[in-house]
Structure 1
Amino acid sequence: MATSAIAPTSTARPPRTTAGFALLGTVQATLIFTLMAISVPLPDIGREFGLDHSDLVLLNAAYGLSFAALLLLGGRLTDRYGGRRVLTGGLLLLGLASAAAPLAPGFTALLLLRFLQGVGAALVAPAGMAVLRALLPGAAEYGRAMATWGGLSVLGATTGNLASGAVADWLSWRWMFAVPVVVSAVTLVLAPRLLPADPPRERRPALDLPGAVLATAGTVLVSYGLVLTETGGWVPPFAAGLLLLVAFVLRERRAAEPLLPLGFLRGGRRLLGLGATLLSAGGTATVFLLMTLHLQQDLAWTPLATSGAFLPYAAALLAGGRLAGPLVGRFGPRTVTVAGLATGAAGLLALAGLDTHTAYLPGLLPGLLLLPFGAALAFAGAAVLATDGVPEAQIGLAGGVLNTAMELGPTVLLTALLTVGSGGAALGAAAALFALTALAGGLTARRG
């Protein structure tokens, strides 16, 4: 992941600050790269370990399950103990689990290590945003940085998909785990030189442990139930998870220092940012899955050729990311978010004609250019909207909430779309959701 693609938009920033931003940005992209690291070579893993379909579904979801479920707790730990301290602990766990994963002798060990990777990522993601806030304390600087930060996750996902096919074809899927190992090690070495130390805290927020247990267990069970919709037996865990999440909301309304203050989610700007993040993450994940299956199963492409098919997608994503920061600065984050969602809706609509005979040219390529360009704009504007005006004492919480929306998108939205129908029907439904959210964002902006 080249740091030149994620450098913040600024011409008067000290070299150390720019290097610190590049380091944090690379870490953020790596978290989502790791999520996608085994997506394309998953059939190879299944053949090597003799896994059935349900095992593969669980293995593919393990990292995301623990990542999403623990983000709120990771955010509050960051607010309590400091960004760099929590970042260090999370990177140690992520790096050690990633170093052990290639040595896994079988399914159970690999599954456990993927869960542990997700736990480490849930600490790193909100802590990285808190360190970024300390690195760029000025409101304007931080806003410009967040406009770039918003596109890093989809960049990591795209890089993971591109690399996984090539590495699986040329070497082995086990080599994909080298990336988080190297990035974790380099960051731990460079952090004392490039990243600010945690400031002394006059008061540490209390940890709402009952709320953390309810939120974590509820999110895991709901997500796991959604993962099982293909294989059956999904209703009991899904229903139990919903009950726990309802109990979590009731608990947060009464808690003196809640894990997630419900007032934090009030306000149209923040809700638009979180909604756009969830939609963009879920929409891009849906396209990745359906296009990968279509190219390999319907058109008989190899994993390497499938990865190559996403090169134009990656180019459009990088172009959108480079333009997003200046556009946010000129037109504002809400306008850029709405424009990104509208462009993404056009891309999804262009792909909605997908069937078993759809060719790459001209059937898929237009949509594979429009969607990532729009998603890059939407992610950029949404990241600014979701963190705008957050006090420094809650920046870890903001990072946890933003990343939770990002992680739940591929689970919740992807599963919901696939229940509508496969292929074109799912993509058409996604296009409608993008368009409706863009319309709602535009109307609320006019009223404002």
Structure 2
Amino acid sequence: MVVPFPRRAIVRRRRAFALLGTVQATLIFTITVVSVPLPAIGTLWGLTRSELILVSAAYALSFSGLLLFGGRLVDRYGGRRLLLTGLAFFAVASTAAAFSNGFEMLVAARFGQGVGAALAAPAAVAVLHRLYADPASHRRAMARWGGLSVLGATAGILTAGVCTWVSWRYMFAPGIAVAILGLLIAPRLVPRSAPVERPQLDLFAAVLATAGVTLVSYGLVVTDQYPWTDPMVAGPLGGGVLLLLLFIAVEARGRSPLLPLSFLDDTSRIVGLLTIAFAAAGASLITLLLGLYLQQIRDWTPLRTSAAFLPYGITLLLAGRLCRRRLERRGPHGVIAFGLTCAAAGLLLLATLDPSTPYTTGILPSLLLVATGLALAFAGATVLSLAGVQARQAGLAGGVMNTAMEVGPTVGLTMLMAVAAARSAHLADAGAVVATTGGYAWAFGAAGVAFALLAMLVTITDRPRRRPDAAPVAALPASNRLALPAAPRRFTPALDTKPSTKRPIPAATGPSPWF
């Protein structure tokens, strides 16, 4: 039987979760908030299309490229220390971005934001792993955590319209405020955490992974401007793929690999990471193409376009709050499959989009379906991705999960925009408006089919789940237990060590007993 935590410790833990969740949402918010103000920035400094792409992608390039290395730094030096370091980087870079006096300074500041985010994001996951040490509370926390990223992305779109109406420089204010708030409050709420063990840092593998992911991501991003055969695309893509293959070879033989290949030797974790990548790509597709459709085809203002996504954001929030019961009743696989099916239905409805589709009866129902599906899919996928992770790999797990979240939109949008471009070229004789809308509709349709196929894959790979009361909480290491600064010692959770008479208790280092 587990002795309850004191009320003060529970309140402190909830506040810590709220702070870390706000940080995570803000890190994703920073990706999307720049999308709407880009034309105003281009007009101010006379930027070319390639320069605008770099302004938009600079943050995601450094964020995604450094996440694996950032995760291992967290495992070596502790979550709290790297969280504060990442927030400090993020605050300074966001301030520099807000006061940029030219293109070069803005791009450099966006890269700096990504460096800070690559440290703070896996650190937040590692801290949560320590705060919610027992499997049951960790599942519930991760279910809530899963929807924060897509909610942050939507908040970025909503804020972008207001910022464009006032000044694009204000879009960096929320990030500065959250980073400063985190630096002030985190030392009081987040416990000091000595790493369980200090893994060796393979700097050569880190350089290979960072350079490989960054080059591949950049090559995919610039396909919006250059054809696939152009050296500007083929060069970064080819070089990035070679570096990633070399990274895999180095990791397979290394004594202390940056990403142990055994970490991915779990079907459930692979399903969870795939779902995160697909869901992140779907969320990006919705905000990007619907935003373009409403402004370019329907001639809506940026502020009105942002308001159109308000029901979408509210639905994400409400659906995320309903995930816990569904996870307890159906398990992560069932929740993911149901969420992907809902999202697929919404995307397939958008495949009927035309230049005069009404918002209330045509677009809004699709937005509500997609939002519900994405919230459920993210919640279940986060639980699967972090199931059975040991304390010494908590930072690594956070880095891998956030990498999937960053790489998914880059790869997914590139493929779907290629589908849209092919369809638009086919409809060129019908006029620019019809051709563009037809391309968007085909991209939504292709995404809907992909989501439906992934839902089938998740159902096929589902395994019989053990009952929650068979959870092996007894084998948790002492270093994994809750350690809060002001909690009295006598309230250290006492874990039941009595074995079950019905079935053997598996070791805690194996797969999560929930599945």
| Deviation for aligned residue 1:192 | 1.6
Partner of 2:235: 236
Partner of 2:182: 187
Partner of 2:15: 19
| Amino acid in structure 2 at the alignment position of 1:198 | S
Residues 13 and 434 from structure 1, CA distance in 2 versus in 1: closer, same or farther, beyond 3 angstroms?
A: farther
- Structure 1, residues 184-240: CA drift from partner, whole Å, max 9, x if none? 111111112111111364x31000111111110010110000011021121111111
| Amino acid in structure 1 at the alignment position of 2:412 | L
| Contact 2:271 2:381 (8 Å CA) reproduced | yes
| Deviation for aligned residue 1:356 | 3.1
- Structure 1, residues 129-163: CA drift from partner, whole Å, max 9, x if none? 00111111121111100000000000100111001
Partner of 1:211: 205
Moved over 3 A (4+): none
Partner of 2:51: 55
Are residues 1:350 and 2:349 paired?
yes
Which of 444, 450, 455 matches 1:438? 455
Which of 129, 142, 145 matches 1:146? 142
| Deviation for aligned residue 1:80 | 0.5
Using the alignment, how far apart are the partners of 2:411 and 2:163 within structure 1?
Answer: 29
| Amino acid in structure 2 at the alignment position of 1:358 | T
TM-score normalised by structure 2 residue count: 0.83
Partner of 1:385: 384
Using the alignment, how far apart are the partners of 1:64 and 1:269 within structure 2?
Answer: 27
Where 1:332 maps in the other structure, the secondary structure is: helix
Partner of 2:394: 395
- Structure 1, residues 289-329: CA drift from partner, whole Å, max 9, x if none? 10011000100000000000001111211121111122112
Greater Cα radius of gyration, structure 1 or 2? 2
Using the alignment, how far apart are the partners of 1:242 and 1:341 within structure 2?
Answer: 29
Using the alignment, how far apart are the partners of 1:394 and 1:362 within structure 2?
Answer: 47
Structure 2: unaligned runs, 5 residues or longer: 1-6, 227-231, 421-438, 466-515
Are residues 1:255 and 2:271 paired?
no
Are residues 1:221 and 2:215 paired?
yes
Q: After the TM superposition, which of the residue ranges 329-338 and 91-100 deviates more from structure 2?
A: 329-338
Q: Sequence identity of aligned pairs in percent?
A: 53
Partner of 1:81: 77
Partner of 1:43: 39
Where 2:462 maps in the other structure, the secondary structure is: helix
Residues 138 and 222 from structure 1, CA distance in 2 versus in 1: closer, same or farther, beyond 3 angstroms?
A: same
| Contact 1:348 1:431 (8 Å CA) reproduced | yes
- Structure 1, residues 375-397: CA drift from partner, whole Å, max 9, x if none? 00000000000000011000101
Using the alignment, how far apart are the partners of 1:14 and 1:394 within structure 2?
Answer: 25
Residues 188 and 446 from structure 1, CA distance in 2 versus in 1: closer, same or farther, beyond 3 angstroms?
A: closer
Using the alignment, how far apart are the partners of 2:219 and 2:203 within structure 1?
Answer: 24
- Structure 1, residues 319-359: CA drift from partner, whole Å, max 9, x if none? 21111122112221111111111111011111112233333
| Contact 1:162 1:307 (8 Å CA) reproduced | yes
Question: Which structure shows the higher helix fraction?
Answer: 1
Residues 200 and 52 from structure 1, CA distance in 2 versus in 1: closer, same or farther, beyond 3 angstroms?
A: closer
Using the alignment, how far apart are the partners of 1:118 and 1:141 within structure 2?
Answer: 30
CA root-mean-square deviation: 1.4
Where 1:153 maps in the other structure, the secondary structure is: helix
| Deviation for aligned residue 1:41 | 1.2
Partner of 2:495: none
Using the alignment, how far apart are the partners of 1:244 and 1:359 within structure 2?
Answer: 48
Partner of 2:468: none
Using the alignment, how far apart are the partners of 2:329 and 2:346 within structure 1?
Answer: 24
| Amino acid in structure 1 at the alignment position of 2:174 | V
| Amino acid in structure 2 at the alignment position of 1:19 | R
| Amino acid in structure 2 at the alignment position of 1:46 | G
**Aligned positions, number:** 436
Partner of 2:488: none
Using the alignment, how far apart are the partners of 1:230 and 1:391 within structure 2?
Answer: 41
Where 1:105 maps in the other structure, the secondary structure is: coil
Using the alignment, how far apart are the partners of 1:77 and 1:132 within structure 2?
Answer: 16
Q: After the TM superposition, which of the residue ranges 369-378 and 35-44 deviates more from structure 2?
A: 35-44
Using the alignment, how far apart are the partners of 2:442 and 2:67 within structure 1?
Answer: 32
| Contact 1:355 1:423 (8 Å CA) reproduced | no
Partner of 2:405: 406
